A and B are shown apart, each in its own frame.
Chain A
């Protein structure tokens, strides 16, 4: 079974709307990271949130972490067509043991 599950797997919104993607995991973690992937290529690191943090912001990105529910959410505000990509969460349980979730494919329509 996968460590992280993204919810939803596909999301389609209009430009200017907010996009929320969720990720759940099963084991204890040191940190959780969100990545973006364009067109099946390499992943780009967006933001890291540590297990003792509850919320983190970076530009239009807002990430929350609820360790009691073993879940995280990525919110992209005021979305743009250029935000169209796949978004993955990855959990680091220590010893750099990273587990990627299934990914959410976000489509932002102009």
Chain B
């Protein structure tokens, strides 16, 4: 079965650079979630989108922005990168049916040098 796809899987950037992470949800899923998991930490919810509109906002820094496109894929844009942004970024998708089970992608590992 098709799963959530994230690209790239690994990304190395320097401080103050920008990064764009992409997430392709499972076909026919209409909701996308972004999470950040720092070393030794629990995944923290950043932001979610439903039908291309922001549906919920968590601990997303102002330097980050995200959007969901007409094909339901989502991009997380990160600017002025800091060392502390080094983390595993997970995307999850779901279909609003009442169950709302989230399916996680494999994650993008961002390393900021």
Contacts and interface: CB of A to CB of B under 8 A. Distances in A.
Contacts of B102: 37, 40, 86, 102-103
Interface of B: 1, 3, 33, 35, 37, 39, 42-45, 48, 56, 58-59, 88, 90, 92, 99-104, 106-107, 109
Contacts of B39: 96
25 contacts: A9-B99, A35-B42, A40-B33, A40-B45, A40-B48, A41-B45, A41-B58, A42-B35, A42-B42, A42-B43, A42-B45, A44-B42, A86-B101, A96-B39, A97-B107, A98-B88, A98-B107, A99-B104, A100-B90, A100-B92, A102-B102, A103-B101, A103-B102, A103-B103, A105-B100
A81 interface: no
Contacts of A44: 42
Interface residues of A, number: 24
A10 B98 CA distance: 11
A28 B1 CA distance: 20
Contacts of B48: 40
A70 interface: no
A82 interface: no
Interface of A: 1-3, 9-10, 35, 37, 40-45, 86, 88, 96-103, 105
Nearest to B4: A2
A1 B3 contact: yes
Contacts of B1: 1-2
Contact of B56 (A1, A40, A45, A88): A40
Contact of A43 (B3, B43, B56, B106): B43
Nearest to A99: B106
Given A42-B45, A86-B101, 12 more contacts: A2-B3, A2-B103, A10-B99, A41-B45, A42-B35, A45-B42, A97-B106, A98-B88, A99-B104, A102-B103, A103-B101, A103-B102
B101 to A, nearest CB: 5
A43 B35 contact: yes
A56 B39 CA distance: 23
A102 B26 CA distance: 12
